[in-house]
């Protein structure tokens, strides 16, 4: 049965219609969710990046942060804050906002019967489609962030605008602004598929097996607790899936790897090292970060009368 034949429309399945106003609010909520959380995790991110590119010196999250503070002062653990805030705010706009658009579009394209049968596939395709555009917006700022965070002290500007200017001036060797787009896709698209699919599936399981009354009957704090728990679980899985590509992006930012292809770096470093180096820190970082992202996103949606995500 087609959506057209039954007048079934995914845009009207939630508590409010998914119209232009809904999608615009989702874009705003996504920007806040990703921008604030990633910027807030900057010290952990700086430690993680340095653990990936210089594991002999930076062995653990806490010790790495201490080393950075001793050697570079408090600014040492806040390197890359500006491009992180701007880049991930832009990414969040497209990641969450376009996910809502693509999910509805693909559900309507499939129709009610196929949507119910292949819902995880629709979540995966919708989130992957959104992330492709999100990473185009993020890439210049991610490249700048990594260069700031992994360059030895005094060899590269750490201010936001000076760093952007330097990246542009060095574009022949840095391949700025989109030189890391393919590695970024290889990290972020699998990460986002896991992030959204695991979140949606976990939230659905909460409302199927633990909270068995209709979702709308539960208080907003209860629904947001489900959101955070589902997001945290999704973040752990996402971190494991995307860590090899994340390590590769950090390696691409090292001065000694200038001009090397991704394949060359993989052969030199080893896939096992890329998959495991900094993984514990990344699991902690992304579990917390993803849980908070979903909580902020759904808190914004709730405040704007849109209802929480998942469990339908």
Secondary structure of 105-138 in HEC code, one letter for each residue: HHHHHHCHHHHHHCHHHHHHHHHHHHHHHHHHHH
Sign of the four-CA dihedral 255, 261, 264, 270:
positive
Question: Is residue 1 situated within a structural domain?
Answer: no
CATH number of the domain at 183, please.
Answer: 1.50.40.10
Is-cis flag, bond preceding 177, omega within 30? yes
Residues 244, 273 contacting (CB under 8 angstroms):
no
Asked if pLDDT for residue 2 goes beyond 50, the answer is no
Question: Is residue 312 situated within a structural domain?
Answer: no
Q: How far apart, in whole angstroms, are the C-alpha atoms of residue 199 and residue 207?
A: 12
Mean pLDDT of the chain, nearest integer: 90
The pLDDT score that the predictor gives to residue 1 is 37
The model's pTM: 0.83
Angle 81-83-86 (CA atoms, 0-180°, nearest 5)? 105
Exposure string for 241-260, b = 16+ CB within 10 A, e = fewer: bbbbbbbbbbbbbbeebeee
Q: How far apart, in whole angstroms, are the C-alpha atoms of residue 226 and residue 276?
A: 29
Asked if pLDDT for residue 239 goes beyond 50, the answer is yes
Angle 177-239-279 (CA atoms, 0-180°, nearest 5)? 100
The pLDDT score that the predictor gives to residue 120 is 95
Residues 296, 37 contacting (CB under 8 angstroms):
yes
Question: Is residue 309 situated within a structural domain?
Answer: no
Question: Is residue 126 situated within a structural domain?
Answer: yes
Residue with more model confidence, 34 or 59: 34
Alpha helices in the chain (DSSP H): 3-6, 20-40, 42-53, 61-72, 81-110, 112-117, 119-150, 160-169, 171-174, 181-205, 220-252, 262-269, 271-276, 279-303
| Least reliable range by pLDDT among 9-13, 142-146, 188-192 | 188-192
Residues 214, 311 contacting (CB under 8 angstroms):
no
Question: Is residue 3 situated within a structural domain?
Answer: no
Q: What is the DSSP letter of 208?
A: I
Name the residue range of residue 216's domain: 8-303
Q: Between the CA of residue 219 and those of 211, 223, 302, what are the distances in Å?
A: 12, 6, 11
The pLDDT score that the predictor gives to residue 6 is 57
The pLDDT score that the predictor gives to residue 264 is 84
The pLDDT score that the predictor gives to residue 191 is 86
Question: Is residue 171 situated within a structural domain?
Answer: yes
| Least reliable range by pLDDT among 34-48, 60-74, 183-197, 259-273 | 259-273
Domain count, the chain: 1
Tell me the pLDDT band of 3, cut-offs 50, 70 and 90: very low
Asked if pLDDT for residue 5 goes beyond 70, the answer is no
Question: Is residue 74 situated within a structural domain?
Answer: yes
Question: Is residue 310 situated within a structural domain?
Answer: no
């Amino acid at each position: 049965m087609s959506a057209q034949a039954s007048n079934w429309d995914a845009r009207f399945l939630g508590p409010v219609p998914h119209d232009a106003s809904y999608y615009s609010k989702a874009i705003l909520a996504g920007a806040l969710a990703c921008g604030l959380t990633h910027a807030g995790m900057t010290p952990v991110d700086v430690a993680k990046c340095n653990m990936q590119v210089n594991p002999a010196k930076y062995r653990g999250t806490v010790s790495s942060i201490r080393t950075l503070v001793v050697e570079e002062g408090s600014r040492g653990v806040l390197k890359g804050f500006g491009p992180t805030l701007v880049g991930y705010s832009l990414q969040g706009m497209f990641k969450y906002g376009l996910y809502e658009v693509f999910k509805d579009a693909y559900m309507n394209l499939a129709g009610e019967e196929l949507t119910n049968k292949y819902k995880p596939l629709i979540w995966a395709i919708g989130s992957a489609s959104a992330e492709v555009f999100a990473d185009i917006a993020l890439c210049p700022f991610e490249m700048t962030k990594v260069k700031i965070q992994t360059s030895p002290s005094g060899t590269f500007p750490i201010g936001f605008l000076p760093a952007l200017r330097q990246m542009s001036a060095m574009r022949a060797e840095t391949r700025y602004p989109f030189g890391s787009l393919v590695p970024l896709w290889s990290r972020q698209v699998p990460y986002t598929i896991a992030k959204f699919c695991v979140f949606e599936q976990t939230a659905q399981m909460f409302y199927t097996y633990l909270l068995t009354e209709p979702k709308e009957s539960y208080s907003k704090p209860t629904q947001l607790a489900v959101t955070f728990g589902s997001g945290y679980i999704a973040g752990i899985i996402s971190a494991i899936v995307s860590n090899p590509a994340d390590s590769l992006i950090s390696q691409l930012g090292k001065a000694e790897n200038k001009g090397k292809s991704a394949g060359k770096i993989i052969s030199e470093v080893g896939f096992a090292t890329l998959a495991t180096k900094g993984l514990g820190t990344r699991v902690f970082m992304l579990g917390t970060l993803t849980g908070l992202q979903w909580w902020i996103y759904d808190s914004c949606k709730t405040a704007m009368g849109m209802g929480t995500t998942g469990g339908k």
